[in-house]
Amino acid sequence: MHTSWQLSEQGDRCLRVQFSGELSLDTGLRCTRAARLLREQAPACVRDLVPSFTAVAIHFYPDGSTDQLARLRDYVHHALVDLDAVSDQVAPGALVDIPVCYGGPFGPDLPILAEQLGLSQEHLIELHGSQPQLVFMVGFAPGAPYMGILPEPLNVPRRATPRTVLPKGSVAIANRQTIIYPNESPGGWHLIGRSPVSLFDARRSPAALLAPGDQVRFVPLPHEQFDLWTPA
């Protein structure tokens, strides 16, 4: 056991580094930094490292030896020995601008949500893009980023009734987080806009545009520019 994280077995092919605390920017940054340090020193048997909101999963191939778990535990402790010394708020990944057409046909929940929160639509949009948002994890669908933390005035639960279909690129918020749906899919978050950016393309390397530890700046895009937008 460590003072700031705990290591446990998850089945016979995974270890989990669990950090204390609930969803927060600090915990998210610790997870993404831990994943980076673990990746830099990973032994050959480690096949994947998956950070989430409060933990990092270390997936590995069993090699049949009796001391593999002991060696993996030593690797984790060695890789994270200096993690507690890092106290800055700098994310380890890239800073990515994502254009968004807010409101109207692109974000039908925007006016309802603004009224519910006692904000103008313009102020809600301003708050949503007021600071870069950390990509905590990628999941739910290939390339779908979970980002935050949103300002407290935008703290709303999920919709009471999910939608069965959301368009590709839908930008939605709930629980002080933002998600972008990379493909047409169901979803239960509040739809405030849509982005023309392609988040996942299997022909691209890497296929996912965003990775845990990246930061996203949301940039308003005029509605008439949606179909005209091209990557810089």
CATH topology of domain 95-225: Cyclophilin (2.40.100)
DSSP lists the bridge partners of residue 162 as none
Q: Check residue 90 and give its pLDDT.
A: 61
What is residue 1's predicted lDDT score, i.e. its pLDDT?
43
Q: What confidence tens digit (pLDDT) does each residue in 63-111 have?
A: 888 899 999 999 999 999 878 665 555 666 889 999 999 999 999 999 9
Top CATH class, 5-85: alpha beta
- Return residue ranges of the chain for CATH 3.30.1360.40: 5-85
DSSP 224: G
163-207 pLDDT, tens digit per residue, is 999 999 999 999 999 999 999 999 999 999 999 999 998 888 888
Cβ proximity of 174 and 117 under 8 Å: no
- What is the chain's mean pLDDT, rounded? 90
- Per-residue pLDDT band for 24 (boundaries 50, 70, 90) equals confident
Q: Are strands 14-19 and 5-9 parallel, antiparallel or unpaired?
A: antiparallel
Distances (CA, A) of 225 to 19, 102, 222: 43, 12, 5
Segments of the chain assigned to CATH 2.40.100.10: 95-225
